[in-house]
Amino acid sequence: MKSPLIFAVRSSALFVCMFLPMAQTSSAQAPVSYASVTQLNTLLANLQQSDQAAVADLSKLRIDKWKTDGTTKRQVQGDVQSLLRNLQDALPGLVNELRAAPEDLALTFKVYHNLDALHDVLRSVAETAGAFAPREEFQPLANDANSLDAVRLSMADRVQSLATAKEAELGRLRSQLQAAQAAAAAAPPKKIVVDDTEPAKKPAKAKKKTAKPAPAQGDQAPQQAAPPKQ
């Protein structure tokens, strides 16, 4: 049965992940503290140890020798193959991404969600081994499930802490936005005067006719004499 903390982690993380891009675009990314990096490195070191131990113990299982029916054996074999693929491929890739972004809430929650699924399947395999497998195969698996569960709970605590910090950041940004909106509403509106009256038209000036100067006497053409009457 899941604890109330797990449900609180999931709800808080999902809420913040939805609104996190707004916070990241509204403010500069804060530097990661030394304490936060140290906590994450310790957590990931424990996770790596649990991962390696689980891979080694799962690889040693002789499921075909278990005292159970063929259907149960095939089911366990499928679960073991799924666990090995995740522990050897998917989980290391997520861990490397998280090392590069220690306080990425969405990525931290993704690692936690993967650990939650891994723990459920590994616990189921361990319980089946306890019923049908030799003790030397069952006990290591039970220890691996307990170890992985401890890392899972630590990751849940970190998700909760990051979610709380991001929610506080969103609250601060929301308050700043409301204050800016209130200040803009209180400011007096700017008056813009628009003069739409047409300017008076100036009367058109009459054009003065200039008289052509009379030709000078010396410039007049000589008149032709009338022909003599006969």
Q: Please give the class, per CATH, of domain 36-177.
A: mainly alpha
Of the chain, the end-to-end C-alpha distance in Å amounts to: 154
Q: Where are the domains of the chain?
A: 36-177
| Residue range 192-205: mean pLDDT, rounded | 65
Residue 153 token pair: 């709970």
pLDDT of residue 202: 67
pLDDT beyond 90 at 43: yes
pLDDT at 95 over 90: yes
pLDDT at 62 over 90: yes
Q: What per-residue confidence (pLDDT) applies to 204?
A: 63
Please state the rounded mean pLDDT for residues 90-102.
Answer: 96
Residue 132 CB contacts under 8 Å (≥ 6 apart), including other chains: 66, 67, 68, 72
Query: What average pLDDT score do residues 9-27 get?
Result: 48
Question: Within a 13 Å sphere around the CA of 57, how many CA atoms are in the beta-carbon half?
Answer: 21
- Asked if pLDDT for residue 220 goes beyond 60, the answer is no
Average pLDDT over residues 102-115: 96
Residue 128 in this model has a pLDDT that exceeds 70: yes
Q: How many residues does the chain have?
A: 230
